[in-house]
Structure 1
Amino acid sequence: MTDIDLADVYRRYIACLNTQDWPSLAQFVDNDVKYNGQQIGLSGYRQMLERDFRDIPDLQFKIELLAVAPPLVASRLLFDCAPKGMFLGLPVQGKRVSFSENVFYEVQAGKIVRVWSIIDKAAIEAQL
């Protein structure tokens, strides 16, 4: 897979998340995906995303930076949203917050097999 092809696949993956097209998630994510070192599988990954959208009704993933070096993808995602209740252990309670996520993916056979994610929790804390 070329850099351009992988970048296109990643953009379509982000569009899948933003439209909450859960049946299509399997086109982008492997059945045995690992998230931050933990084997959660496709069903666990989908459950995590569905929970995120329940807890953050206005959640949208916006790509700020994207670097591709197959089989790896690195992305800085931006968020401007209002999580309900607690978020990352913080009492956000519907307040609008802006933060970023630095996330790295390993892709094999066109599907995400590993994800490493770090959310800028300090940015949220500074806004509360």
Structure 2
Amino acid sequence: MPLEATYRAYIAALNAQDYGALDRYVAEHVVYNGETLTREQYTDQIRRSYAALEGLAYVIDQVVTSGDDVAARLVFDVVPVAPFFGVAPTGRRAVFAEHVFYRFQAGRIVAVSSLIDRAGYAEQLGASTLPPE
């Protein structure tokens, strides 16, 4: 399967919350923003996002592939219902983007570098300060 098709299938599995399918797309260990996680830990991060963000859907705005790498801009339109990025929910909607780079090996994600405008997210919710990471 071409890499872009594999990536789109991975995103479809996320949107379906089909966590069992992640075995097909995510390696046993993933380096996420410099931290090595097991597939289970990586999946737990995704589960926590769904629990905290009502209406969460991974919408691909742009995707580019090169060799074993994928670069994507994902857009989210959510209403937080639990603290996320350390910001308490306020009932307000937040629209934000993630710029993310993936490295694949043997058809599975082995590394993820993610950049999200956390300050913009917090501002939309009316937070005056952003808690440290």
Question: TM-score normalized by structure 1?
Answer: 0.92
Query: Equivalent residue for 2:86?
Result: 89
Deviations 1:41-95 (A, max 9, x none): 1010111111111111311000011010021100010000011132212233332
Q: Secondary structure at the match of 1:87?
A: coil
Return 5+ residue gaps in structure 2 as ranges.
127-133
Q: How many residues align?
A: 125
Contact 1:98–1:124 (CA under 8 A) maintained in structure 2: yes
Aligned position for 1:33: 30
Are 2:117 and 1:103 aligned? no
The answer to which of 55-64 and 9-18 deviates more is 55-64
Paired letter, 1:56: L
User: What is the CA-CA distance between 1:28 and the residue it aligns to?
Assistant: 0.3
- Percent identity of equivalent pairs: 38
Gaps of 5+ in 1: none
| Per-residue CA distance 1:8-45 (angstroms, 9 max, x = gap) | 00000000000000110110000011111111110101
Equivalent position of 1:68 in the other structure: 65
1:116 matched to which residue of 2? 113
- Give the Cα separation in 2 of the matches to 1:68 and 1:97: 28
CA-based RMSD of the aligned residues comes to: 1.3
Segments of 4+ moved more than 4 angstroms = none
AA in 1 matched with 2:57: Q
| Paired residue type of 2:109 | I
1:88 partner amino acid? F
Q: Does 1:44 align with 2:41?
A: yes
1:22 and 2:19 correspond: yes
CA distance in 2, matches of 1:42, 1:125: 28
